[in-house]
Amino acid sequence: MDRLRALMENLRDQFEAMTPRDRTLATVLVATLTLGFAGGTTWYLKGILNDLAANVITAKADLAHTQEMSGEYSVVAAKLKAAETRMGAFHANQINTYLEDWAKGAGMLPQLKEVKELGTETQGRYRQRDYHVEIDNAELGSIVEFLFAVETSPYPIRVKSAKFRADGVGDSRMMDVGLDLVTYDKPEGGG
């Protein structure tokens, strides 16, 4: 503290020893340096505050987006859970039983001739099974009812392709149909 006091007295003595013109120049120089330092510091701090403000705006936008996505995620997660619950009730190895029930409901059980598994492929947590189904001599209305039952069933099954061949003329037409179906299920221990 004494050193600082001694330094200040030394500076004051040298300032008083200056000519009035030198004192004015020194005062202007000190004022200019002080204003430059204050202005530079202010400019630097303003830049830092602007960067921080931009970071806050970005963080707010990210938070809003995350909250929006969280809501969408909840909806999708609920749909996925419901689909997996339905999938758990479906037993792809009993596809014949399901198809026979739907054919019986459409009044065409005797016309359901063949259900043949074409292949199985595992994709991630799910297994896809392809089947070929042959229907012979069925009425068009029964076939439509059967296809409607397949497509609207709560089980993960869909028609990949269908080939129709009509026999007869007019209202007495009978149809032969070849269907390619695909089903999905979870293999044992599939997550």
Q: Pick from 72, 89, 106: which residue ends a domain?
A: 89
Q: Which of 27, 180, 15, 6 is CA-nearest to residue 95? A: 180
In-domain check, residue 117: yes
pLDDT, one tens digit per residue, over 128-186 is 889 999 999 898 888 989 999 998 888 888 899 999 998 877 666 788 999 999 988 77
Residues 82 and 32 in one domain: yes
Domains identified in the chain, total number: 2
Q: Which of 156, 149, 187, 188 is CA-nearest to residue 87? A: 156
Distances (CA, A) of 187 to 68, 90, 93, 191: 34, 12, 11, 8
pTM confidence score: 0.54
CA distance 13 to 34: 21
In-domain check, residue 173: yes
Residues 47 and 116 in one domain: no
Residues 63 and 114 in one domain: no
Residues 62 and 108 in one domain: no
Residues 39 and 25 in one domain: yes
Domain hosting residue 43, numbered range: 1-89
pLDDT, one tens digit per residue, over 61-97 is 999 999 889 888 888 888 877 776 666 666 666 788 8
In-domain check, residue 70: yes
In-domain check, residue 147: yes
The CATH number that applies at residue 101 is 3.30.70.60
